[in-house]
Amino acid sequence: MEEKGSPLVFSEWLKRRRKALDMTQDELAQRAGCSVGALRKIESGDRRPSKQLAVLLAKALEIPNEDQQTFLRVARGDLNAERLRQEPLKSLPALPDAWRTRGDQPGPAAGKISTPPSPSIRIPLQTTSLVGRDAELAALERLFSNPQCRLLTLIGIGGIGKTRLAIEFAARKSALFPGGVFYIPLTPVTSPEKIVPAIADVLDFGFSGPADPQEQLLNYLSIHIQGSALFVLDNLEQLLVPLTNQEVKSGVVALVCDMLERLPTIKILGTSRERLNLHGEWTYELHGLSVPSTNLIGRLEEYEAVELFASSARRSRVDFEVTEKCQSELIQICQLVEGVPLAIELAAAWVGVLSCREIAQEIQSNMDFLTSTMRDLPERHRSMRATFDHSWKLLSTEEQSVLSRLSVFQGGFDRTAAQQVAGASLPLLASLSDKSLVRRTESGRYDLHEVIRQYALSHLDDHPQNSDTYERHCEYYLKMVVEREKCLKSAAQQDAIRQLMDEIDNIRAAWVWAIRHHKFDRLGEAGRGFGWYFEITGLYREGIEQLELLVQALKAGAQDGASQQVLGLALNHQALLFFRKGEFDNACKLYEESILILRPTGDQALLADSLVFLGTVLHLRGEYERARSLLQEGLLLARQSNEKWFEAWAIYNTGHIDGLVGRYEEGYEQMLAGLTMWRSIGDPQVIALGLNFMIPALTKLGRYEEAKTYMYESIALSEQSKNRWGLGTAYRYLGLACLAGGQYAEAQAHFSKSLEIFGGFAVGWDIARSLTYLGDTSMLVGDPATARRYYLDALRPSIEANAVPIALDALLGLGSLGVQAGKAEQALMLSFYILDHPSSEEETRRRAEALRASLEPTYSPEQVGQARQLAKDLSFDSLVREALESTEADQKT
């Protein structure tokens, strides 16, 4: 039965209407086309009907047409259920006295002590329904069920919904407090001495005589509070008085202590932006509503932040719906404000004039956009700035200064950074954390809610001592990169990567700030470590873009020796990232440019870097002699500058060239020497690389099991270091070892897995190489149609990457298949072409020679001569074009 003094709610209105029509829940559910379980949840207040179900309920409950719109809006929570009484719907039963709200009850005469009704429910009526917070409400009930919990403080940033949640809990759980529920708003209370009168006003209690008012109030409560009672003290933080040696307790803290001591049956639920720091205080920190991640488009109804935005938006535009078109922007809005209810409601108020995309853009650029002109909102809730102004004014000057300096951090920070960049001591961090302005994560790091960060950042220039904060931030994080550079190419690689990943948002910000302020010396020191970070983590595209910012700034500035050296470094690392992506043309162009710039600077280490990597790219493109020359020059410079890592690289890749041209034993020994050096350095990524590219030579030497053992080690290293490129390469060469050993099914599985791993980040050489091996395997298992498809699929990316050796391999595969299709003469010509081409790998030459030897006896000497001459006359481009056109013609027929 509804308790006297409770507000009118839709669920109870619905239940009474059903009973007035003499319907059971089963009958109404059947008429409305919903389940009985759903109807029970609606009548118990646990959920609201969907828009479609509300329409069906209106018909089932015989709501007149002219009243249905009011009914629908009340059902969805857009209007208060009181509207159903203020604008009576036709044929509705009259409301009983038990349904009257507190506003209908006459209050006691002013100045007289009166006994409140039992139970007395003194909480404000809410004009909108609470969205979400079921878990939080359950948690509050669970905490208060513990007899030891008598003082529970809801803490959180401004706008997070502390007041709304406290009121909702008090309203829903009033039956747990037969002695009464009393909501005490402390926002209008401007000084501690006004707290007692504020509580008395809610209780309709008047003071009389000279006795201390607090004493009168406590005596009154001890007499008239019968049974367990709940006092909700809202917005306590503004009345907290700092402790001094003379004052152990003061202000609201003293009153709370006295109430708990003298009134053993009461419990207090406080809301505050900081804890009270009292013995016996329990705290519950309130966070934002649940927010969907970017990839959850289509499942938005599961998230409270989206539900609140939609319900709030309908108050500004009644036809607002979450459509597929606006879903991604709506997710972005909720993410930007991190689920803060007030910010969501302020943002949703703009849907009448702006699209969701425009709202998201405004939030990103200006926090002052989050504002409202609603007259019934408290002033501190009319904008996010006003909300945080309230907290800002409660801070000391030192706390304000530190908080504004902390706003320069991106993605959080640790204690050391807070101290060195912002001058934030541990006690200051703890104080700001207690005030819900700084968050401490489970990992021990700290961060600021993004909306707080924007607010604090707007105050950074208020304090003269903050002028160099950005420079200190830049120095701190670029120095971090410099200090971890050598670790990135050592056994400590993964620890260094984890440390840099934790701080990558700060490092990016420091990088961009240094570029804008022409701090090129610092950028030059950090550039190599910065570039290697993106290479090791596989974030190639982002790394290229970040380095391009530096390249453009340097090219636009003075061309002195120091800046040219930094430019050469930046181009070098851009080239490395293009190389890893498989874009060989871009890589070669940038390496050539960096070598041209670096030669006059005298920086042997940087020049060795560019030389050995350009040599690597060129030998993969089939330019073996120039590649060998560059690697030898790079080797000499690496030794002179004591760059062991690059020395090993030059030795190893010289051996790889030997293997490609048929000197397998010599090449293997040379590669093994380079790999041994890398093992002594301990870099897991380059060790995996070294293991991978030894496999072609090992298979030619017939050492299949040794090759597999190497690949199992490489796979384990790549998985451990999250090296996707190394992992894709390892599975490719594990497949090659299986293929050479006649294990065709295993080979196909490994090649396919290689392509799966490469998908989404690699192009060109790596994709083409795996595809040609799949073509070879399909040919060997007697599936020429699939082999043809793989060879064609390999031909296109190899041409795009200018990976001529792989393109020749794919062409040879297509030529061999052509023999079976009656195109033996074309295959003979192709075998001559490949045998004469300087970029052909030795293995490709061997297969071309075998094809020539099998075909030449079937033709006359004149025909053989014509085929040989045609091979000499054809250009590579025309050969590729003919192969593709011929295949397309075959497919059409």
Task: Name the pTM for this structure.
Answer: 0.66
Q: Give the max Cα distance, the chain.
A: 131
Residues 277 and 138 in one domain: yes
Residues 806 and 893 in one domain: yes
- How confident is the model at residue 91, as a pLDDT? 46
Q: Do residues 504 and 480 make contact, with C-beta atoms less than 8 angstroms apart?
A: no
What are 516-560's pLDDT values in tens digits?
A: 999 999 999 999 999 999 998 888 889 999 999 999 999 987 778
- How confident is the model at residue 107, as a pLDDT? 37
Decide if pLDDT at 246 tops 60.
no
Last residue of some domain: 420, 445, 467? 467
CATH of the domain at 645: 1.25.40
pLDDT-based confidence at residue 843 (cuts at 50, 70, 90): confident
What are 397-408's pLDDT values in tens digits?
A: 888 889 999 989
Query: Is pLDDT larger for residue 591 or for residue 46?
Result: 591
- How confident is the model at residue 106, as a pLDDT? 37
Tokens, residue 581 = 């992506």
CA 654 – CA 642 distance, rounded (Å): 19
Please provide the average confidence, as pLDDT, over all residues in the chain. Answer: 82
Residues 82 and 111 in one domain: no
Whether 248 maps to a domain, the answer reads: yes
Residues 124 and 262 in one domain: yes
- How confident is the model at residue 372, as a pLDDT? 54
What are 320-346's pLDDT values in tens digits?
A: 877 777 777 888 888 877 788 888 878
Decide if pLDDT at 648 tops 90.
yes
Report the sign of the C-alpha dihedral through residues 860, 865, 866, 868, in that order. Answer: positive
Query: Could you tell me which residues come within 8 angstroms of residue 850 by beta carbon, excluding any fewer than 6 positions away?
Result: none
Amino acid at 389: D
User: Rounded to 5 degrees, what are φ and ψ at 721?
Assistant: -95, 5
Whether 731 maps to a domain, the answer reads: yes
CATH of the domain at 458: 1.10.10
User: Which residues form the domain of 728?
Assistant: 683-767
Decide if pLDDT at 613 tops 60.
yes
Residues 85 and 227 in one domain: no
Query: Is pLDDT larger for residue 338 or for residue 183?
Result: 183
CA 432 – CA 424 distance, rounded (Å): 10
Whether 849 maps to a domain, the answer reads: yes
Tokens 């001559």, located at residue:
832
Residues 723 and 782 in one domain: no
**Residue 636 burial (10 A CB sphere; 0-12, 13-18, 19+):** middle
SS3 state of residue 230: strand
- DSSP symbol at 264: T
- How confident is the model at residue 82, as a pLDDT? 62
What are 202-217's pLDDT values in tens digits?
A: 887 777 777 788 888 8
CATH of the domain at 716: 1.25.40.10
What are 73-86's pLDDT values in tens digits?
A: 788 777 766 666 54
- How confident is the model at residue 83, as a pLDDT? 64
Whether 556 maps to a domain, the answer reads: no
Decide if pLDDT at 240 tops 80.
no
- How confident is the model at residue 92, as a pLDDT? 47
Looking at mean pLDDT, say which of 59-63, 637-641, 721-725 comes out highest. 637-641
Looking at mean pLDDT, say which of 166-175, 179-188, 377-386, 514-523 comes out highest. 514-523
Whether 858 maps to a domain, the answer reads: yes
For residue 119, cis peptide bond before it (omega within 30 degrees of 0): yes
CATH of the domain at 94: 1.10.260.40
Residues 125 and 252 in one domain: yes
Residues 154 and 223 in one domain: yes
Closest-CA residue to 181 (of 235, 251, 236, 124): 124
- DSSP symbol at 503: T
CA 852 – CA 857 distance, rounded (Å): 9
Tokens, residue 843 = 């293995």
CATH of the domain at 202: 3.40.50.300
Tokens, residue 509 = 């910000």
- How confident is the model at residue 679, as a pLDDT? 93
Q: In which element (H, E) is residue 824 found?
A: helix 824-836
Closest-CA residue to 274 (of 169, 157, 370, 118): 157
Whether 608 maps to a domain, the answer reads: yes
Residues 869 and 751 in one domain: no
Question: Picking from 618-632, 684-698, 770-784, 813-827, which range would have the lowest pLDDT averaged per residue?
Answer: 813-827
Last residue of some domain: 638, 667, 696? 667
**Residue 771 burial (10 A CB sphere; 0-12, 13-18, 19+):** buried
Report the share of the chain in percent with pLDDT over 70. Answer: 87
Query: Is pLDDT larger for residue 301 or for residue 227?
Result: 227
Residues 763 and 780 in one domain: no
Number of domains the chain is built from: 7
Tokens, residue 398 = 């030192």
The mean pLDDT value for 122-137 works out to 80
Question: Picking from 142-151, 269-278, 846-855, which range would have the lowest pLDDT averaged per residue?
Answer: 269-278
What are 407-449's pLDDT values in tens digits?
A: 899 888 999 999 999 999 998 988 888 777 888 877 789 888 7
Whether 138 maps to a domain, the answer reads: yes
Question: Picking from 369-378, 475-484, 573-582, 803-812, which range would have the lowest pLDDT averaged per residue?
Answer: 369-378
The mean pLDDT value for 575-603 works out to 91
**Residue 635 burial (10 A CB sphere; 0-12, 13-18, 19+):** buried
The separation between CA 703 and the C-alpha centre of its own chain, rounded to angstroms, equals: 46
pLDDT-based confidence at residue 238 (cuts at 50, 70, 90): low
Whether 577 maps to a domain, the answer reads: no
- How confident is the model at residue 374, as a pLDDT? 52
Tokens, residue 768 = 């083409």
Last residue of some domain: 285, 317, 352? 285
Residues 631 and 752 in one domain: no
Taking the CA of residue 749 as centre, how many other CA atoms within 13 Å lie in the half-sphere pointing to its CB? 5
- How confident is the model at residue 8, as a pLDDT? 61
Q: Which residues of 447-479 are buried (b: 16+ CB within 10 A; e: fewer)?
A: bbbbbbbbbbbbbbeebeebeebbbbbbbbbbe
Residues 805 and 864 in one domain: yes
Angle at 699 between CA 696 and CA 700, to 5 degrees: 85
